[in-house]
Amino acid sequence: MRIGLPKEIKNHEYRVGLTPASVRELTEHGHSVLVQIGAGSSIGLTDEQYQAAGASLATDAAQVFEQSDMIVKVKEPQAQECAMLRSGQILYTYLHLAPDPAQTAALVKSGAICIAYETITGPGGGLPLLAPMSEVAGRMAVQAGAAHLEKSKGGMGVLLGGVPGVPAGHVAVIGAGVVGTHALQMAVGLGARVTVLDKNVDRLRQLDLIFGNRINTVYSNAQSVEDAVLDAELVIGGVLIPGAAAPKLVTKSMISRMKKGAVVVDVAIDQGGCFETSHATTHAEPTYVVDGIVHYCVANMPGAVARTSTFALNNATIAHAVALADKGWKKALKDDRHLMNGLNVANGQVTYEAVANALNYNYVAADSLLS
């Protein structure tokens, strides 16, 4: 198979879909890889390293899209990239379609086979291709929140860990999944007072056993979310419904009653966000203020630590990339139901139920297209 690696073009996105090691893995399976010049240069992955791994170089993205059977990316294709996709071509990347009707319409129109990292499941449950970026984003959320609590960045001027004689700041983490767990690890490490909220009591029990009295675990409902949000200096939203739009758990009313200068970090923004006041921002302009509350809603947070994120992501994605290349998409999906769960759009049809429901498309089961 001919595999293409274009350079990412989303604002301040420096990650890359394949490392040289991943390229070598594919070429040793007999496939050819075409890499856009400079695709990984921003994070120290040189064209020479890609060539040494067996790749050929392309002068621009148009050449990569035109000459490749499968495109491997990191972030969802931008409008000009969607326009270059063709019927039957495989797109393997993060998509986050439920809150993005324009991208969904473009992918449906293209006729491409669109496999989303974030809905591929794992044998033990969970979302193994989303997990490494959720780990990064959860840790970054505390870093970003702590920085924006500084007065010079619009915050109230609070040091999360406090100092002797001055109380530590309160961090409320909504969602005890991968994002929430890594966020609370960082917050605890900084010495903050931490509350984590979730509806899964078994998960809260696990975290209580791990962290003991260093955190407060709270069952999530409207009242407990409101209580935590109003008391906190930093609120981190890390809720996820796989493939679907995130639920709006923090209302405009709650935001208006928070402590002025508090910070909210919406890690669920890729799926539309879990704060009613959220809208996506970029690393160029990461924050905005609503009712005196600083909102950090960068939709590609791990892009800020692009080298770490790229290697972590490739660890999770390369096995499925090899399977798709070795077998073709139909046999690869037939052989692996977890990979089949990643198929969101194919042959002009929406094949992921949560996306179809969110955007009012007819749902076509993925396995019906594999004959």
Residue 238 CA to residue 269 CA, distance in Å, equals: 9
Residues present in the chain in total: 371
Active-site annotation holds for 270 = yes
In the set 31, 96, 170, 295, the catalytic residue is 96
In the set 69, 266, 270, 336, the catalytic residue is 270
Residue 322 CA to residue 332 CA, distance in Å, equals: 10
Q: Which amino acid is at 97?
A: L
Residue 12 CA to residue 26 CA, distance in Å, equals: 28
- Decide: 81 and 72 in contact? Cβ < 8 Å: no
Residue 315 CA to residue 299 CA, distance in Å, equals: 22
Pairing state of beta strands 287-290 and 70-72?
unpaired
Active-site annotation holds for 291 = no
Burial class (CB in 10 A: 0-12, 13-18, 19+), 201: exposed
For the annotated catalytic residues, the residue numbers are 96, 270
